[in-house]
A and B are shown apart, each in its own frame.
Chain A
Amino acid sequence: MEQYTVELGRAAISRMGRDKGSLYIVCAVDGDFVLVADGSKRPLEKPKRKRIKHLKLLPDLSQTLSEKFREGKKVHDAELKSCIKKIEAGRQTEAENKEAAEETGQNGKIAEKDHKTWQKATISKPKA
C-alpha cells in the first residue's frame, strides 16, 4: 500500500505538539522537516517548522498551490485559507457520510440492533 508523497501544496494534519489536530498546507520541504502554514494562525510569513513524521499527510493536494510554490510565485494567505476551508468541508462530508453509513448499516439496511429495538416497540401493547 502506497503512502502520500511529501510535496508542496499537500494537506497535512499535525499529530504532535500543541497544534495537534491543526490542518496545514506544506509550503517548503527540507529533509526530515517541512514548513507548513494555514493562512491564519500560521500565515505564510511565519510558517511552522514540523517534522514530517509528526504530520499525517492527507490525499488532498492543491495543484495550483503546488505549482505556485515550485515556481516561486506569490501565494496569498487568503488562497491557503480558501484551500483549507474546502478540505475541511470535504472531510466534514466524509465524516457525515461515514456516520450515516454506520447508523443504517451496510447496504442501506437498518442496523440489526436498531431493528430489534424497533420490533420490540411495535409489539408492546398499550396498558388498559
Chain B
Amino acid sequence: MIAIRTSRELELMRTAGKITRDTLLYLGEHIKPGVRTADLNALAHEYILKQKARPAFLKYNGYPKSICVSPDDVVVHGIPGSMRIEEGMIVSIDAGAVYEGYVSDAARTYAAGRISTEKQRLIDVTRECFYRAAAAVRDGARIGDISAAVQTHAEANGYGVVRALEGHGIGRKMHEDPGVPNFGKAGTGVRLRAGMVICVEPMINMGTWKVRFEADGWTCRTEDGQPSAHYENMLAVMADGCENLTE
C-alpha cells in the first residue's frame, strides 16, 4: 500500500527534510583530512537533537550509529568509527531525521581535500543521474521512468549502477512502498500519484555494478574496490513535477 500524504503530513515532512538537508550542509563543512568518522557521527547526532528531532538511523533495524559514513569503495552503510578521513578520499554521508513521527532521508558524496579528476567526475555524474531521475517524477509517471533515467546516464558514462540496493517510499517509516530501483525500463512499474513521497538515490560505481557485504551485516563495498558515489533526496510527487524536500 502506497501512502498519499495530506497537506499537513507534507508540511511535517518538509520540516523533517530541512533538518536532514541542514545536517548534511553542516557535516559538509567538517569533512576534512584527519577527521574521524566517529566525530562526524557525534556532530550529526548533536545537530539533529538540537533541531528537536531524533536521528532516524540510530537503532533502525539494529544500525548502531546516527549516520552512515562511506569512504571511497564503501558504497553505503559505512559504520562511523575510529577511521580517519584522508586527503583524496570521496566520502558519502547518509543521514535522516524523525520529526514529529515523520522520517526524512538524504545523502551526499563529498571530496576530502583535493581529489582526482576521475573521482570528481563520478560525483558529478551521480548527481546528474539524480536530477535526470527527478525530472521524470510527476503524477502519472512510472517508477521505471526514474530507474531508466539513472541507468541510462550512468552507463553512458561507463559506470556501474548498484542493483542490490534501491530507493524507497518514506513517511512514518524509513522504508515504505514503493521500491525505487536505479535500473529498469521506462514505462514500467508502479504509477506515481501526487502526494506520494519517495527517496530517489542513485548509487553509482566507478567500475563494476557488483557489490559485496561485510561480516558486520551492514558495510557494502564495490566488488572491484573502485570508488562509489551516492546522491539522495526525498521527493514529493506533484501534479506537474516534484518538490525536493531535502535540498
Contacts and interface: CB of A to CB of B under 8 A. Distances in A.
Contacts of B77: 1-2
A2 B220 CA distance: 11
Q: Which of the listed residues A4, A5, A6, A90 has the most CB atoms from chain B within 10 Å of its own CB? A: A5
B215 A90 contact: yes
B76 interface: yes
Nearest to A93: B215
Interface in B44-61: 56-57, 60
Contacts of B218: 59
A77 interface: no
B18 interface: no
Size category of the binding interface on chain B: 20 to 34
Given A93-B215, A94-B217, A2 B181 contact: no
Interface of chain A, main secondary structure: mixed
Interface string B184-220: 0000000000000000010100000010010111101
A5 B215 contact: no
Nearest to A97: B215
B95 to A, nearest CB: 9
B25 interface: no
B216 A63 contact: no
A5 B181 CA distance: 7
B167 A2 contact: yes
A124 interface: no
Contacts of A97: 215-216
Interface in A46-68: 53, 59-61, 63
Contact of B217 (A59, A61, A63): A59
Contact of B68 (A1, A7, A63): A1
Nearest to B213: A59
Contacts of A2: 76-77, 165-168, 201, 203
**List of 3 A-B pairs having minimum Cβ-Cβ separation, nearest first:** A2-B165, A59-B213, A3-B175
Interface of A: 1-7, 53, 59-61, 63, 90-91, 93-94, 97
Interface of B: 56-57, 60, 63, 68, 76-77, 94, 96, 105, 163-168, 174-175, 177, 179, 181, 201, 203, 210, 213, 215-218, 220
